[in-house]
């Protein structure tokens, strides 16, 4: 989304429905990755595991789960910002359309 916004093509490729779908996906993904992170952290602490290869790897699995949690929060934030930009863009287009109509 950032690259399309930088090129000025965000509103050509994304509609309000697509941005809402991204927000919904992020809102579903965030609690799942949070629950997974908590489970892996607690399991690693309970089983007194470290970062050894011989262990079950709870802490190794914890790292990408936390990263997914952080990036899903960033995804939600970015989608909300772009949705707000989209609303401003649509308001500008509507205002331009009203001023382009000649008075009778």
* Region label for 14, one of left (φ > 0), alpha (ψ between -120 and 50) or beta (otherwise): beta
70 Cβ contact list (under 8 Å, min separation 6): none
Q: Is the alpha carbon torsion for 52, 55, 41, 35 positive or negative?
A: positive
Pick the residue with more confidence: 101 or 69?
Answer: 69
Instruction: Tell me the per-residue pLDDT of 44-99, one tens digit each, with 9 for 90 and over.
Output: 888 877 666 666 677 888 889 999 999 999 989 988 888 888 888 888 878 887 77
Task: State the Cα–Cα distance between residues 25 and 53, nearest whole angstrom.
Answer: 34
Chain length of the chain: 104
């Amino acid at each position: 989304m950032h690259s399309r916004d930088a090129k000025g093509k965000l509103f050509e490729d994304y509609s309000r429905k697509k941005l809402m779908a991204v927000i919904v996906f992020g809102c579903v993904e965030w609690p799942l990755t949070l629950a997974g992170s908590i489970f892996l952290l607690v399991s690693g602490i309970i089983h007194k595991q470290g970062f050894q290869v011989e262990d079950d790897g709870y802490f190794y699995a914890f790292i990408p789960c936390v990263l997914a949690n952080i990036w899903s929060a960033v995804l939600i934030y970015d989608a909300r910002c772009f949705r707000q930009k989209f609303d401003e863009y649509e308001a500008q287009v509507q205002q331009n359309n009203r001023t382009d109509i000649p008075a009778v």
